Structure 1
Amino acid sequence: MPITIPPGCPEESLRPSASQGELCGAIPAVDGGCLAHLSPDQLQAHLADLAPGADIDAHGVVFTADLLQRLLRATADRSLEFGNADFSEATFTERVSFSGATFTKDASFDHTTFLKGVSFSDTTFTEPAVFIRAGFSESTDFTGARFTADVDFAGAAFTDGADFSCAAFSGGALFSGVRVEGRMRLMACAVQELVWSGARISGELEVEAAAARVDLSGVRASERVDLRLRGA
């Protein structure tokens, strides 16, 4: 039986880089409108139906910090938990925080844009997490994050560095083809497989990690790279 994909939100795009007249196209939430285009009453009613651990489909949605916080509060009880979470191709126009959240199922942030920075400090990902070709601008914080399955940052761009200090990777930490400007730190980390193949480093990279396997093939760096690796 064929799968029917609902048409995207038909309202005008809220992305700062959108051209005049460009349509939103984000996944609809209520009556064809995405989360960012709902009326206050529609948004309140939609969020009231969510519960801790709910699946979230926010593909292509443009988030302000306030909209994200309202979504997070709707899925929080004593702790902040998501089920399947799809934020792929979403845009976050202000600095946002997922600190302390738990993603209990797949987490997708592929082609997501963080324009003003993001914090995933002390966040737990219990299933695969995908940040393929995500764009990270300004402060990016993954300190103390825990990944119990693979996390894939292939092709992502970090234009102001990032901090992964004290992060724990039970699976692979895949940074193949990433572009790094600014200072990137992975200090006091534990990881099964650390892959940086094809990465382009035009800032500083500091890695201090216990790793069972490391792939640095094809890495190009124009500034300081400090690697302190030991077997896991």
Structure 2
Amino acid sequence: MTQPNPQPSPEPPGWPHCGHGATPADPVGCRGIHVGEHAVCLAHLDEADRFAYLAALAPGADIDHCGTPFTPELLGQLLNALRDPATGRPQFGDAWFARSSFSDTAWFAGSSFSGDARFYESSFSGEAWFAESSFSGEAGFYGVSFSGDARFHETSFSGEAWFVKASFSGEADFDVASFSRKARFDTSSFSGIARFEGTRFEKAPHLGPLVCDRQVVLDGAVFEAPVTLEIAAPRVSCARTRWASTATLQLRYAELDLRDAVLEYPVLVAARPDPFPSFGSDSSLPEMELSGQDPGVRLTSLGGVDAAHLALHDVDLSGCRFAGAVHLDQLRVDGWCTFATTPTVWNRRLPWRWSRRNTLTEEHHWRSRTARRPALARGWTTPPQDAPNLKPAAVAALYRQLRKSLEDGKNEPDAADFYYGECEMRRHDTGRPWGERALLTAYWALSGYGLRAARALAWLGAAMAVTVAVMVLWGLPADDPKPTTTGRQVAAGQQVTLTTDTPDPANPAGPWSERVTAERSEKALRVVINSVVFRSSGQDLTTTGTYTEMASRLAEPVLLGLAVLAVRSRVKR
């Protein structure tokens, strides 16, 4: 987002100005303010008058050189005139450089500003060095254009710091700086890296809105008061950042890194759906270099973070590494937060594909590392070199904690996916007993851990079909047994004794064409359907049919229950 140096205003400034070099094209000429009783600015004073003016200055003097064009030599002469012999550092009282221009390198490093410093709408065409300087009053850099690098390393701002509408074409270095009061970067733009590493913000209620074309680095920064960060940038790094109070991070286009961040109070990370407003106008903050990209927020790492105070809203978690974080069960996941998913394409070498579910990137890394054949690793994310090599038990623990977080947020469907992932990792954990892993394997194969209704129904249909076939072929007797009455007569007393008996059902012995009939199939189906709902059919069965019905009454209701459980897990509120 490189911006050109601001062109001089065609209107004359509000102070008595030099006018040197006026032309028909620029009738105003030099905008530099008059020096004392002279009718020219410091840049256009003759050598004798300039020497006399500079000789009269003392460390801590108030100066006013608005609109003055400074070369490195002229700036050096001014700084030498204000240099304290005891410290060797230039000391300013009130310093007015509004609309001044600084060609080549502007070296203010180590300067002390005991009063207000005003650089409003000034232009630095080279590097601007304010490293290790101190601003006791207001530091006004409103509308300043930095064409080169801007160095504020270890600079102390005791008063309000105004970088509103400032543009940084090079790198902006605020590392280890300290802002005791407001740090205003409203509508500021950064073409290079904006560095705030180790910076301390004591009472800054806002940082931004600002836009950066490359990266905003807040590693090791400290925010001691409630703050709202509004940043549009491709990358925002908050590694080891300390939030000593509540904070809200409103981001756009950002890939956010929160490794080892310290959250002492609730911190919200949210994706800003609309562009940020521009300071002092009804328009939006320009995002020219970022427009056309995905404006969402992608969290890359929570390693080393105590997530008890963290809330995420509308954040892409598909590439987030959770390993190393603690209290993930207390993480708040709200809005439309998305996770990684299983590969959804059919595998050409294998006649199946992975069932679709939300996953963690740690499972992707594990499956990619442990795949026995390249075909099994297809679609799983390859781990980067710095990714930890986690065992299945560790991944299962991550799933378990995040499942609890989703359940507490009443997100039962997504929590079910994480239960599936937890069971998968437990099934592949060779450190668990063989019997437990076998049981989990059966649970997975039959119903996808009670979460795949289609799988359970398929097994139920197959079991019913086999049961029907066994009943038709061997379970139903050839004919329904008819009761037989037998008796004997006692002659002396004319007593008759009768016994009624039902013979055992006879196994069918005819050819299959006589066994497989519509009547027998209908009877077998009734037997099987009754067994699914734990009822006895009341049908006379052969010995084979009796045991088949007993097995059916045990297994098939279980499969039906697993299917119902799977449907319930997907529609539960």
Same fold per superposition (TM over 0.5): yes
For the structure 1 residues 35 and 172, does the alpha-carbon distance in structure 2 shift closer, same or farther, using more than 3 Å as the test?
same
What runs of 5+ residues in structure 2 fail to find an aligned partner?
1-13, 246-573
Indicate conservation of the 8 Å contact 2:149/2:168, yes or no: no
Residue 228 of structure 2 aligns with which residue? 215
Q: C-alpha separation between the residues in 2 aligned to 1:158 and 1:229?
A: 26
Counterpart Cα distance in 2 of 1:224 and 1:64:
36
Moved more, 193-202 or 62-71: 193-202
Q: CA 1:127–1:59 in 2, change beyond 3 Å: closer, same or farther?
A: same
Residues 73-222 of structure 1 aligned to structure 2 (within 5 Å): 73-78=80-85, 79-192=89-202, 193=204, 195-208=206-219, 209-211=221-223, 212-217=225-230, 219-221=231-233
Q: Which has the larger radius of gyration?
A: 2
Given the superposition, is the C-alpha separation of residues 194 and 6 from structure 1 closer, same or farther in structure 2, using an over 3 Å criterion? closer
User: 2:243 aligned with 1:230, yes or no?
Assistant: yes
2:74 counterpart letter in structure 1: L
Is structure 2 residue 16 aligned with structure 1 residue 10?
A: no
Given that 2:95 and 2:113 are in contact with CA atoms closer than 8 Å, whether structure 1 keeps it comes out as yes
Answering whether residue 7 of structure 2 is matched by residue 24 of structure 1, we say no
Please give the secondary structure, in 1, of the residue aligned with 2:104. coil
TM-superposed deviation, 1:85: 0.2
Q: Is the 8 A contact 2:19 2:28 kept in 1?
A: no
Give the structure, 1 or 2, with the largest relative contact order (CA under 8 Å, sep 6 or more). Answer: 1
Distance 1:67 1:231 in 2: 44
Inter-partner Cα distance in structure 2 for 1:194 and 1:115: 31
C-alpha contact (below 8 Å) 1:9/1:33 kept by paired residues? yes
DSSP 3-state at the match of 2:197? strand
Instruction: Supply the RMSD in Å over aligned alpha carbons.
Output: 1.7
Q: Does the 8 A contact of 1:138 with 1:160 survive in 2?
A: yes
Match of 1:64 among 63, 68, 71: 71
> Aligned to 1:188, what secondary structure does the other structure show?
coil
Q: Which amino acid aligns with 2:206?
A: V
Contact residue 193 and residue 212 of structure 2 kept, 8 A: no
More helix by share: 2
| C-alpha displacement of 1:70 | 0.1
Q: Contact 1:133–1:155 (CA<8 Å) still a contact in 2?
A: yes
Partner of 1:16: none
Distance apart, 1:49 and its partner CA: 1.0
Q: Secondary structure at the match of 2:75?
A: helix
Answer 1 or 2: which has greater strand percent: 1
Equivalent-residue separation in structure 1 for 2:17 and 2:217 (angstroms): 42
TM normalised by structure 1 equals: 0.90
User: 1: distance between equivalents of 2:105 and 2:226?
Assistant: 34
Contact 1:112 1:134 in 2 (8 A): yes
Alignment deviations for residues 134-171 of structure 1 (CA, whole Å, 9 cap, x no partner): 01111211001011111010110001121111111111
Shift of 1:203: 1.9
Q: Could you list the runs of 4 or more consecutive aligned residues of structure 1 that deviate by over 3 angstroms after TM superposition?
A: 19-22
Kindly provide the amino acid, as one letter, of the partner of residue 231 in structure 1.
A
Q: How many residues align?
A: 221
**Displacement of 1:194:** 5.6
| Offset from partner CA, 1:67-97 (integer Å, 9 cap, x none) | 0000001111323210000011100011021
Identity in percent: 31
SS of aligned partner of 1:197:
strand
